Chain A
Amino acid sequence: MLTAEARPRLAPGVRIQRDEARDAWLVQAPERLVYPDEVAMSVLALCNGERTVHAVIEDAAREYGETPDTVGDDVRALLSELEQYGVLVDAGR
Chain B
Amino acid sequence: MPAVDPPYAFLAELTHRCPLACPYCSNPLDLARAASELGTADWGRIMREAAELGAMQVHLSGGEPLARRDLETILVDAHRAGLYTNLITAAVSLSEARLDRLAGAGLDHVQISLQDADAPAADWVAGMQGAHARKLRAAAAVRARGLALTLNVVVHRHNLDRIEEVIELALDAGAGRLEIAHAQYHGWALANRAALLPRPDQVRRAMAVVAAQTARLRGRMAIDHVLPDHMAVRPKACMGGWGRRFFVVTPDGRAMPCHAAATIPDMVFPSLRDTSLREAWGRSEAFQRFRGTDWMPDPCRSCERREIDWGGCRCQALAMAGAAAATDPACALSPAHGRMAAAVAAAGNEDFRPRRF
Contacts and interface: CB of A to CB of B under 8 A. Distances in A.
Interface string B286-302: 00000000000000000
A63 interface: no
Contacts of B109: 13, 30
B82 A17 contact: yes
18 contacts: A1-B218, A12-B148, A13-B108, A17-B82, A19-B56, A28-B108, A30-B108, A30-B148, A30-B150, A30-B177, A31-B57, A31-B179, A33-B9, A33-B56, A33-B57, A83-B218, A84-B218, A93-B220
B292 to A, nearest CB: 20
A15 interface: yes
B31 to A, nearest CB: 25
A27 to B, nearest CB: 10
Given A30-B150, A31-B177, A1 B219 contact: yes
Given A1-B219, A21-B54, A33-B8, A11 B84 contact: no
B86 interface: yes
Interface in A53-93: 83-84, 86, 89-90, 93
Interface residues of A, number: 22
A93 B53 CA distance: 40
A12 B176 contact: yes
Contacts of A14: 148
Interface size on B, as a range, is 20 to 34
A22 B219 contact: no
B240 to A, nearest CB: 11
B84 A15 contact: yes
Given A2-B219, A28-B57, A86 B146 contact: no
Interface in B1-59: 6, 8-9, 53-54, 56-57
B56 A26 contact: yes
Contacts of B149: 12
Nearest to B152: A31
Interface string B159-184: 00000000000000000110100000
Interface in A3-24: 11-15, 17, 19, 21-22
Given A13-B108, A13-B148, A21-B54, 9 more contacts: A13-B147, A17-B56, A21-B53, A31-B86, A31-B150, A33-B9, A33-B56, A84-B218, A86-B176
A75 B327 CA distance: 43
Interface string B218-229: 111010100000
A12 B174 CA distance: 11
A86 B56 CA distance: 18
A86 B177 contact: yes
B117 to A, nearest CB: 21
Contacts of B57: 28, 31, 33
